[in-house]
Structure formats: structure tokens, C-alpha cells
Amino acid sequence: MTTNEQQDEQQDEQQEAKSYFSRNLLEWYHGQKRDLPWRRHRNPYYIWISEIMLQQTRVDTVIPYFNRFIERFPTVESLADAPEEDVLKCWEGLGYYSRARNLQHAAKQVKEEYGGQVPNDRDAVFGLKGVGPYTAGAILSIAFNRPEPAVDGNVMRVLSRYFLIEDDIAKGPTRVKMERLAAELIPEGEASHFNQALMELGALICTPKSPRCLPCPVMEHCSARLAGCETSLPVKTKAKPPRPEERLAALIEGRGGHAGRVLIRQRPSSGLLARMWELPHWPAPPAEGGASAALLPEAAAQDRLRRSLLQAGIFARPEGHWMAAEHTFSHIVWTLQVYRCREEEAPALPLAAEGRALYSAAAGNGAASADAAAIGAAPGAAGAATGPADPAAAADYAAASAAGAGDRSATSQGMYNAGLTASVPADLFADGSGPVERFADGSGTAEDAGAVRWINRSDMANYAFPNVFLKLLNAYFDEQEGGAV
């Protein structure tokens, strides 16, 4: 047999393998596909929502979120017009919150540029914020039956094994190669079903660690199975592990008018977890000798936390370690050491009236009271405090108070620094470290400290929390109500 004849034979075998794959996969899908809510229609908006939610998230987790989201925002227009706080609250607990913000931004694009109809056009779909090659392919193929590939991790795993592709799937050229191959496999007129079948095979049969080869509809021609290397594919460069970071968090219990409530703060308007709500927390300094901050002596940790609270204009005293919690991002892992703290009466410092005005308002009310805006006294849970005596500081304080108790960005930073460093007892900074930043995690500045609120359990429905803080708050209120932590 000549070389050309060998090449022709190999091409014929490869084409047969492709035809076998597409034919058998579709037949299997029609008999085995799961009944998922976004598969009951061809509404491109619903399919778009489901694909965004399914990124980095299990199907079983997504289903209830999808149903609630669609009930709350049934159309592109309703999502585009909703307050961002409502969108984040509906997304709460699903994680990767930039997905929700990008989704709403793209909904506004669709409303303004396409009359509220998800476009059936490749360039237009690719132009939507947060829509990459996979999501665009999924929308166009599933909703509009266009022969566009939709290649995600599941699909690359299936193709790597079936065709014995040993290229690194973490690299861009490999993805391009996979997209070309996937496009060749789509049977004419079957793009919607085929792409869903390919995803389904990767989710249910050709799983990452323990592929179920025996019930696989395409096992007969699977090159990796025949070579005995199905568990070693796909090849993927390991991502850099997330950086660990220890943090000190304050669960502040209110007194007097704030009894039964805890203090929460809003994150800066940009960066990590932008505009979401949380318990106040700061990076923990390393223990002596460079040991983990988790090993920081109790007294030192509480002292550091108290100074951090004071620097943020919050008067509270740590009373002991409550629990630890962890929150994982793609690039960082927070280990939160949470301390129960008790609200204190603000001392008569230049900062006192300003600090009290920032968090004395009732839960859900960010506006300062008229008394708080007046020079001399500010309302508090346990009494009144004397306002700034210095005329310049008093003017700064009045302007800040008039701007609203819930907005720390209105605070005069000059007054803040001068008042704090001049009036705080020296022993609070005995270690020589000096004041700490309010948001010292790279996502904001001391001037961008966000709003604060006193809330009880029922008030939680009005604020969107990252999952770790949602769990911590629920654990605390469970404990207060006599339930298990």
C-alpha cells in the first residue's frame, strides 16, 4: 500500500469515527437527556441566563437559582431596569458575582440596541458584556440552531479522549483546535441538540476522574479508551493555587437602640465583591517569627481588631473568638477569624461624633438624623458624645453628617487622620504599626469605606451578602434564637 493510500485510509477511518460519534451521541441524547428547566423552550434569554449561571457551578445548584431568577426577572427589560441590589440579592450564594453584574449590563445593551430581543447574530452576541466564545456558541446553537461550536471544559475533555488529543487544553491554540473540530462534528440541522448532547456526555458519562466507559454511547471508537489512557486525558496545566490570607472579622452586637442587631458594612464600589455587604474585617498581621496569622495570640488579635475598628470610626470592643470561616476566590483564600464584639459608647474625641453618626441610624436608614448633623452631640445606643471642638473640624463634621450617615466617603480624610492620631490613647498603637486602612485588601482605599448598617435577621432580605457572610450571619442568629450553629 502506497503512502497516499495509507493517508486516504486514515482519513476515511477518521471520518467514520466522526460520523459514528455524531450519530450515536444524538441517539443517546434523545433517550437519556435530563429534564432541565432551560431545556423546555427555545427562549434565548432563558438559555443565556442558564449558561451564565452554569459557569463554574453545578447543575443541581443552578436549578433553583434559575427558577427564582426567571420568576423575578422574566424578560430582558425587567433585568435591565432592576436595581443592581435586587439582582445581586437574587444571585446571593451563587458566587462569582461579576457574572450577575455583567449579565445586567448586557441586558441593558440588548434593551437599548436590539429592542429587548437577544440578537441572532454572531458578532452582536459576542459584543455583549460577559459573553465569551463558549456562551456565544451556546446561545446561538441552542436557541437559534445555528451551527456554532460551544466548547467548554466538559466538551474539551470528551474530544480529548475520543480523538486522543494530547495538547494542553489550558492553552489558547488548543481551544481553537477544539472549536474547529466541534464545528465539524455538528450534523446539519442538529446544532441545538448536538451541542447539548456533547455537554451532557461530559457531565454524566465522560467525567473528569472516573469516566463511565461501559454505558458511553461512543466507546467503540474512543481512541483514549482503546489506548488505555482515558483517565490521563485531557492534558491541562495546573493553575497557580490561590494565595491564603488570614483576616480578622468583627461580629459586632449592638446595645441600647441597636440591641438584637449586628453591624454590617458595604464594600467599595469597584473591585472584589463590589458593593456587597459583609462583616467588617481586615488582614491579620503575621505572628512573631512569620508564623500563620491564625496562630496570632488572642490578646494581640483582639487588640489589632479593636484598632482596625477604631480607625474605621466604629466603636466596639472584641470579647472573644467566635468561629472561623473560609471563602475561596480564584486567586485568594480568605480564612476569617471571627470575633464577637460589643458596641461601645464613643469617647469624647474629635472623631467621636463623626464615627457615631456613621452607624447610629436605624437599620435600613442611611440618612443621618438632624441631631447628628448638628455640632455638639450625636445620638448613640448608650448616650451622647461631644462633637468636634475645633472650628475647622466641626465644619468638616457638619458637612460629612449632612451628606448622610451611611456614606463614609463624605468624611473629611484630613479631619479623620488628624482627629484619630491626635486623640486616640497612645497604647492603642503601642506596637508602632500605626493606623490601619479601612479596606486593606487591594480593592479600595481608606476614603472608599462604604456604608454601614445595623441589621437583624429579617433585615438580611434587603442586602446581598457573599456566601461566607450569609452563613456567618445565619449561624449567629440561629445561635441567638436557640438553634444549632
Distances in Å between the Cα of 63 and the Cα atoms of 90, 170, 200, 276, 419 are 13, 28, 15, 23, 52
Query: Is 344 annotated in the active site?
Result: no
Per the CB < 8 A criterion, the answer to whether 435 and 311 are in contact is: yes
Per the CB < 8 A criterion, the answer to whether 116 and 76 are in contact is: yes
- In the 3-class helix/strand/coil scheme, how is the chain assigned residue by residue? CCHHHHHHHHHHHHHHHHHHHHHHHHHHHHHHCCCCHHHCCCCHHHHHHHHHHHCCCCHHHHHHHHHHHHHHCCCHHHHHHCCHHHHHHHHCCCCCCHHHHHHHHHHHHHHHHHCCCCCCCHHHHHCCCCCCHHHHHHHHHHHHCCCCCCCCHHHHHHHHHHCCCCCECCCHHHHHHHHHHHHHHCCCCCHHHHHHHHHHHHHHCCCCCCCCCCCCCCHHHCHHHHHCCHHHCCECCCCCCCEEEEEEEEEEEECHHHECCEEEEECCCCCCCCCCEECCEEECCCCCCCCCHHHCCHHHHHHHHHHHHHHCCCCEEEEEEEEEEEEECCCEEEEEEEEEEEECCCCCCCCHHHHHHHHCCCCCCCCCCHHHHCCCEECCCCCCEECCCCHHHHHHHHHHHHHCCCCHHHCCHHHHHHHHHHHCCHHHHCCCCCCCCCCCCCCCCCCCCCCEEEECCHHHHHCCCCHHHHHHHHHHHHHHCCCCC
β-bridge partners, 56: none
Nearest-angstrom CA–CA distance, 100 and 95: 9
List 13, 16, 51, 188, catalytic entry: 51
Q: Phi and psi (nearest 5°) for 386?
A: -75, 135
Nearest-angstrom CA–CA distance, 268 and 409: 10
Please choose, from the candidates 109, 68, 75, 74, the residue with its C-alpha nearest in 3D space to the C-alpha of residue 89. Answer: 68
Residue type for position 388? P
Residue 32 C-alpha cell reads as: 437519556
Active site residues: 51
